[in-house]
Amino acid sequence: MKTILITGCSSGFGLETARYFLERDWRVIATLRRPREDLLPRSERLRMLALDVTDPHSIAAAVQAAGPIDALVNNAGIGLLNALEGTSPQAVRELFATNTLGTLEMTRAVLPQMRTRRCGVIVNVTSTVTVQPLRLLSVYTATKAAVNAFTESLALELEPFNIRVRLVLPGRAPDTRFGENARARMADGIPEPYAALAQSVFESWSASGPVTRAIDVAEAVWRAVNDASCPMRLPAGADAQLSVQA
C-alpha cells in the first residue's frame, strides 16, 4: 500500500485531495496546523498530523511520524490580496515563509528517504497567476512563481534518483477559502490610490465564468502522482486550462 503526505488539509484543495486518495485505497497522511478528526471519514489508512510548514521542528516531527512516503504534495499556502504599497514587509515575509520556503523545507525533509529508495513523487501546487498575472496579487504571485522555477530545476536534479517532480496549477476557486483569507490579510487596507482598482478586481472575482473546483485539483494531483508520462505542468480547472493555453 502506497503512502501520500499532503500539506494544508484543513479545507479546499488539500482536503479534497486527501479524500480522493483515501477513496482509492492509498494510505493518507493529512497534515494541517490544528488537526480535526471530523474533516475526513474514519479509516485505518488515514492519519492526521499537526504540521506547520514554517517550523523546522514541526516538519521533522511530522515526517518522522509519517514513516515511508511515496508521494509528497506541497499544497499548504496562504493568500494575500493587496497592492505592493499596502503590503507590509512582515506580510511579505509571512507569504514567502509559507508558500515558498515551506515547500522547499518539506521537500528537503522527505528527499533523503526517497533518494535512498530511488523512487517517489513530489507534487507542488502553485497557481495559474504565475502564467497569467492578475492585479493586486504581485507578492502572492512571486511566492508561487519561485516554486515553479524551483520545481522545474529540482526535477532535473532528482531525475538520476528516479524521483519525479510535477506542478499542479489551479485557477480561480470560489468554493475554497482562498479569497476570504486573502482579503483578511489586508491588515493595513488598500492604499487610497488603489481603491478604484481594488473595487474592479473584487467585481471581476465575483463574475461568472469558468472556475477551478477542488475536485479538479485532486484529479490533477492524482494524475501527477500516478502517470509517469504526464507533463511537468498540469493545469487544474476549466479556467486554468484557458490560462495555460493563452
Catalytic residues: 140
Spatial separation of the C-alpha atoms in residues 223 and 231, rounded to whole Å: 10
User: Which stretches of the chain are assigned E, i.e. beta strand?
Assistant: 3-6, 27-32, 46-50, 71-74, 120-125, 163-170, 233-236
Report angle CA 125, 46, 33 to the nearest 5 degrees: 55
Do residues 32 and 10 lie in contact, with contact meaning Cβ atoms separated by under 8 Å? yes
Asked if 125 and 170 count as a contact pair (C-beta separation under 8 A), the reply is yes
Cα separation, 243 vs 246, in Å, equals 5
The span from the CA of 23 to the CA of 45, in Å, is 10
Query: Number of helices (H) and strands (E), helices first, in the chain?
Result: 9, 7
